[in-house]
Amino acid sequence: MDQLAAQLQSVGIAATVANHTQWSSVADDIVAKYRAGQRGPIVLVGHSLGADAVMSMAAYLGQMGVPVALVVPFDGTDSHVATANVARVLNLYKNQSVRISRGPGFRGELTNYFVRDPNVNHFNIDKSAALHSIVIRKIRSIGSAVARPRGHQTPSNAVPAAGASTNS
């Protein structure tokens, strides 16, 4: 995630890295900034337990009335639902039993991408240059990020699954 944050910063996108255990304090900071008038797009990226944390963070932000532009979970450890306040979810995964589904009120873009590359696994998915490139392009397409916990990259050889930000 540090590599991805450095790449984002090098192209002028604000990036903050935090451990998945800190998600609630990071979310509270985002809420405070939002209420203070900082209304730029919020992007959350996380890997493994961090992927689970960014999904929890997005749900919490929804309860606080804060919209989230993009959530990118990298190979989370549990399935989650996308909440109504989230505009886009790009779920990058290797574990075929873990998916993101549409929650009540979610009307955004939901993509579950299975990473087929045999050289990419749970432990290195967040370091994939190809996935970093995809994530950076996706973020740039929505604007600069206001807050961003660390996350994993998007696979270049990913394919959509049928039916479809934090350190760890």
pLDDT truncated to tens, each residue of the chain (168 aa)?
Answer: 889 999 999 988 889 999 999 999 999 999 999 999 998 899 999 999 999 999 999 999 999 999 999 999 999 999 999 999 999 999 999 988 899 999 999 999 999 999 999 999 999 999 999 999 999 999 999 864 334 333 433 332 222 222 223 322
CATH of the domain at 17: 3.40.50
**Residue listed under structure tokens 């797009």:** 41
Q: Is residue 165 part of a domain?
A: no
Looking at residue 24, what is its pLDDT? 96
Q: Is residue 9 part of a domain?
A: yes
Q: Is residue 142 part of a domain?
A: yes
Q: Is residue 167 part of a domain?
A: no
Q: Is residue 6 part of a domain?
A: yes
Looking at residue 143, what is its pLDDT? 62
Looking at residue 117, what is its pLDDT? 96
Q: Tokens at residue 67, please?
A: 């919209």
Q: Which three-class secondary structure state does DSSP give residue 81?
A: strand
Looking at residue 97, what is its pLDDT? 85
CA atoms 118, 80, 152, 22: torsion sign: negative
- Domain residues for the domain of 131 are 2-160
Distance between CA 73 and CA 1 in Å, rounded?
Answer: 12
Looking at residue 168, what is its pLDDT? 29
The torsion angle over the Cα atoms of residues 130, 142, 13 and 61, rounded to 10 degrees, is -100
Q: Is residue 120 part of a domain?
A: yes
Query: Which residue type does 48 have?
Result: S
Q: Is residue 65 part of a domain?
A: yes
Q: Is residue 133 part of a domain?
A: yes
Number of domains in the chain: 1
